[in-house]
Amino acid sequence: MSSFTRLKQKMESREARIGIVGMGYVGLPLALLFSAERFRVTGFDVAKDKVATLNSGGSYIVRILPAEVQAAQKAGFRATADYAEIAQMDAVIICVPTPLNEYHEPDLSYITGTVESIAPWLHEGHLIVLESTTYPGTTEEVMVPLLEAGNAAGLKVAHKAGETGVLVAFSPEREDPGNETTARHDIPKVIGGCSPEATELAGAMYGAIFRRVVPVSSPSTAEMTKLLENIYRCVNIALVNELKQLAMRMGIDIHEVIDAAKTKPFGFQAFYPGPGLGGHCIPIDPFYLSWKAKQFDFRTRFIELAGEVNIAMPYFVIEQLAGALNDHCKSIKGSKILVLGLAYKRDIDDLRESPSLTIIELLREKGAIVAYNDPFFPTVGHGRHYDLKMTNTPLGNLGQYDAVMIVTDHSSYDYKAIVEEAQLVIDTRNATKGIDSPKIVRC
């Protein structure tokens, strides 16, 4: 029996051992899903504190309960920082970060670091799948050469039907944090392998947890699919952000317009304006493609334009605040401002690229005295692009602030009470919809 047939059978019978590299927002939930389907899963992470937390049955992601980690432990789940254990895995799924560097270019160092660490432990028939969002070509141009160069046994990656070696595929993650309407297993899984067998084997593995797998002809097609999905969102959000600014000048409520437009049963999908883009994906991924496009003498103008509009949104909401304070004969300088919500979107504990961070920094630069409230973040320190060192301010005595700015519309907030107590409310999310008060400035 070939190693491929043997491994496919192991996938189908749930005997295959699965290693997931990167126990973050993507990797940990995926590990729990495989565990729930009776696979023996090992989570790999370079962060020793995360490994220790998981092995003690804890969780560092708010929406993942320790009980879920403990249930996975009973099914054989454990975490490790030791890459030597890769050798015991039948399949390895890579879910490490893919940020931009300071020049707004792809930073593949997490992927290359991971692949270099995995390569020495490869064996014949090993399935390696990359899930991190990246530009088309990463799997074949970056990952495959590193896998082949890094293993002493001289193993090659299979490229044609029937070829033996290591099986490599790309399968994008499509998680939508906080989305409670679509179950994870109902999100179809796109897979593009370097060889037909890689696609088939990855399909057998993911087929155990996703109801539908969508094979495509190559890793690049799968990589581009993910980018199309995110660029589509980025461009459409920019469009409504621009139209919101026009609608405000015209005295039209853009949210009322969107609600009316979305009654059209075909050809329209609603996107909503906001204070700027946040999260690990939408503000970043499009620039992976615009960077790669330059290699082909091509300018991705929609991406650049959408980026320009979206990046300007925090500045726009600050202007609205300045205008509203001006109406009360006040300036931003010296005003006490409470920012509600740090997370980049409602009801999640993720502040990566959150517009709140930019807004707080801009307010401080202008001399405001800024406090924040967010039930998900007792403190905020510093990250790649911010250095705030702040502590959560309990909600209360809102009248002491010159303005309360709603940047993230967490559902735990009582917006009616907030409007009643505050002197001035700058609402960047339409969270006060239905509340009629001259104190509210919607922008």
List the catalytic residues.
Answer: 281
CB 366 within 8 A of CB 318: yes
Q: Which residue, 96 or 422, is less far from ligand NAD as judged by CB? A: 96
CB of 19 to ligand NAD, least distance (A): 10
φ, ψ at 44 (rounded to 5°):
-105, 135
Q: Which of 90, 140, 173, 427 binds ligand NAD (CB under 6 A)?
A: 173
| Binding window for ligand NAD (CB under 6 A); candidates: 15-23, 333-341, 384-392, 406-414 | 15-23
Residue 440 binds to ligand NAD (criterion: CB under 6 A): no
Q: Which residue, 21 or 405, is less far from ligand NAD as judged by CB? A: 21
Q: Which residue, 173 or 242, is less far from ligand NAD as judged by CB? A: 173
Q: Which of 35, 41, 42, 45 binds ligand NAD (CB under 6 A)?
A: 45
Q: Which residue, 138 or 432, is less far from ligand NAD as judged by CB? A: 138
- What angle, 0 to 180 degrees and rounded to 10, lies between the N-to-C axes of helices 285-294 and 301-311? 140
DSSP-assigned letter for residue 58: -
Residue 223 binds to ligand NAD (criterion: CB under 6 A): no
Residue 150 binds to ligand NAD (criterion: CB under 6 A): no
CB of 432 to ligand NAD, least distance (A): 28
CB 398 within 8 A of CB 378: no
Q: Which residue, 105 or 414, is less far from ligand NAD as judged by CB? A: 105
Nearest to 169 by CA among 219, 114, 124: 219
Residue 206 binds to ligand NAD (criterion: CB under 6 A): no
Q: Which of 27, 136, 192, 341 binds ligand NAD (CB under 6 A)?
A: 27
CB of 84 to ligand NAD, least distance (A): 13
Position of minimal CB gap to ligand NAD: 24
CA dist., res. 92 & res. 244, Å (int) = 45
Q: Which residue, 28 or 318, is less far from ligand NAD as judged by CB? A: 28
Q: Which two tokens stand for residue 10?
A: 């192991």
Q: Which of 7, 11, 23, 424 binds ligand NAD (CB under 6 A)?
A: 23
CA dist., res. 356 & res. 26, Å (int) = 23
Q: Which residue, 22 or 165, is less far from ligand NAD as judged by CB? A: 22
Q: Which of 43, 125, 136, 177 binds ligand NAD (CB under 6 A)?
A: 177
Q: Which of 114, 300, 356, 373 binds ligand NAD (CB under 6 A)?
A: 114
Residue 24 binds to ligand NAD (criterion: CB under 6 A): yes
CB of 174 to ligand NAD, least distance (A): 6
CA dist., res. 315 & res. 305, Å (int) = 16
CB 27 within 8 A of CB 47: no
CB of 284 to ligand NAD, least distance (A): 7
φ, ψ at 215 (rounded to 5°):
-75, 140
Q: Which two tokens stand for residue 334?
A: 């010296």
Q: Which two tokens stand for residue 118?
A: 């995995």
Nearest to 51 by CA among 83, 90, 91: 83
Coil, strand or helix: which one is 234?
helix
| Binding window for ligand NAD (CB under 6 A); candidates: 32-40, 95-103, 180-188, 262-270 | 95-103
Q: Which of 21, 190, 289, 324 binds ligand NAD (CB under 6 A)?
A: 21
Q: Which residue, 127 or 441, is less far from ligand NAD as judged by CB? A: 127
CA dist., res. 336 & res. 315, Å (int) = 18
Parallel, antiparallel, or unpaired: how do β-strands 167-170 and 189-193 relate? antiparallel
Which residues ranging from 265 to 324 are in contact with ligand NAD (CB under 6 A)? 280-281
The count of C-alpha atoms lying within 13 angstroms of the C-alpha of 172, restricted to the half-sphere facing its C-beta, is: 28
CA dist., res. 8 & res. 73, Å (int) = 24
CB 317 within 8 A of CB 359: yes
CB of 148 to ligand NAD, least distance (A): 19
Coil, strand or helix: which one is 171?
coil
CB of 322 to ligand NAD, least distance (A): 33
CB 170 within 8 A of CB 190: no
CB of 348 to ligand NAD, least distance (A): 9
| Binding window for ligand NAD (CB under 6 A); candidates: 106-114, 205-213, 360-368, 418-426 | 106-114
What are the residue ranges of helices labelled H in 168-253? 196-206, 219-250
Element of type H or E holding 322: helix 313-327
Q: Which of 42, 132, 241, 430 binds ligand NAD (CB under 6 A)?
A: 132
**C-alpha dist (Å) from residue 427 to 45, 210, 291, 413, 431:** 39, 39, 35, 13, 7
Q: Give contact residues for ligand NAD (rule: CB under 6 A).
A: 21-27, 44-47, 50, 95-98, 110, 113-114, 131-133, 173, 175, 177, 280-281
